[in-house]
Structure 1
Amino acid sequence: MDPRRTPAENVPADDGHTYRMPLPRLALTPEVSHGPLDGAWWPRCDALELELPSLVAALEPDRFTTVAVTVDPAQWPEAPHTVMAPGRVITVEPTRSAGEEHVITLDCDTVGRWVLLVVPPQEPADEASRLMTAAADPELHLGASALLTR
């Protein structure tokens, strides 16, 4: 690299380099879930508009299908009603169902529906890993509140 140039100056304008969100931290049940949860998601931050596109992309390969997400407003107080993602608009609906404060529900019209435990972003890695493994265990039939208080 030429020491008189900044790194940005050394990148050709047409190199196709774009920023990509990291893959979501996600654990899903290996088969169709028969419990209250289909797995767990551990977002990196509380900004749903930043986290949701990569989660949806991991679950829904077709960019042009309809995706609706349900979240608890207590956990996501600043959640937007829509989130823009490449090739789609994700609809976000608040819900206040009992026991659903640490759950996100994703309805993808061509693939299916997922109910995921949301591991708090600030959770230590070892505890987050334990929660994600438990939520994705098809033999363990615990809901989000029970997993978080265990």
Structure 2
Amino acid sequence: MAESDIPHTPPLLLPDAIHRAVNPGTALLRLETTRSREGLLDGAWWPRTRDIETELPALIGVLTGHLGPITRVGVDASAWNALPPRLIIDDQVVHLDSDPVGDDTVLITRGHNDHFALLVVPPDTTADAAREAMARAVRADNITEAAQILIATTPGPEDAGAGDPAART
């Protein structure tokens, strides 16, 4: 069967109620803690700002509830206003590593070598684009890299002005 003969299936979106409820600061997670984790990303996060000291504690708090203690977070320092070497979150030291992962991914580490990759949706992303990007990232069969998801879901210049910035809040 030729590639052109394969029917195109649109990406599965989140249920409508969840889709409408996703706001800045939200983390959507698909956490598979087995060796058979599939897909490139384990979840998505839409921080409100580029201030890591403000944004990261809430994310780590949610993740700790599902994964246990988080020991390290890898981020691209150029994506954030400042990057301290570590933060104390809920009485736990979390080391911050400046990795060349790009500002579209954050790497969460628990234990010595168990990593979770989350898409980071830029804070200034429109609500519709953020929701679509996050829905794509959490699909179990996702094989698209984070940067490509963001490119595919970002409105082009022809769409400028089509969104309602007030809808982000």
Say whether the fold is shared (TM-score over 0.5): yes
Identity %: 29
* TM-score, length-scaled by structure 1: 0.73
Distance 1:73 1:34, change over 3 A: same
Unaligned runs of 5+ in 2: 1-23, 153-169
Give yes or no for contact 1:48–1:76 (8 Å, CA) kept in 2. Answer: yes
2:26 partner letter: R
1:36 partnered with 2:34: no
CA distance in 1, matches of 2:103, 2:55: 17
Matched with 2:109 is: 107
Structure 2 partner of 1:116: 118
Runs of 4+ in 1 over 4 A off after TM superposition: none
Q: Tell me if 1:69 matches 2:73.
A: yes
Secondary structure, counterpart of 2:77 in structure 1: coil
Matching residue of 2:28: 27
Correspondence for 2:141: 139
Structure exhibiting the larger radius of gyration computed from Cα positions: 1
> Structure 1: any 5+ residue segments left out of the alignment?
1-22
Distance 2:120 2:70 in 1: 22
Report the CA distance between 1:127 and its aligned residue.
0.9
**Amino acid across the alignment from 2:123:** P
Scaled by the length of structure 2, the TM-score of the pair is: 0.66
Measured against aligned partners, the alpha-carbon deviations of 1:83-109 in whole angstroms (never above 9, x if no partner) come to 121211211000124xx3311001022
Residues 67 and 90 in structure 1, CA contact (< 8 A), matched pair in contact too? yes
Contact 1:26-1:39 at 8 Å conserved across structures: yes
Q: Distance in 2 between matches of 1:61 and 1:28?
A: 12
Of structures 1 and 2, the one with the larger relative CO (CA 8 A, separation 6+) is 1
Larger helix fraction of residues: 2
Opposite residue 25 of structure 1, the aligned amino acid is T
Tell me the CA shift for residue 29 of structure 1. Answer: 2.1
Number of residues paired by the alignment? 125
Counterpart secondary structure, 1:60: helix
Q: 1:78 aligns with which of 79, 82, 88?
A: 82
CA RMSD of aligned residues (A): 2.5
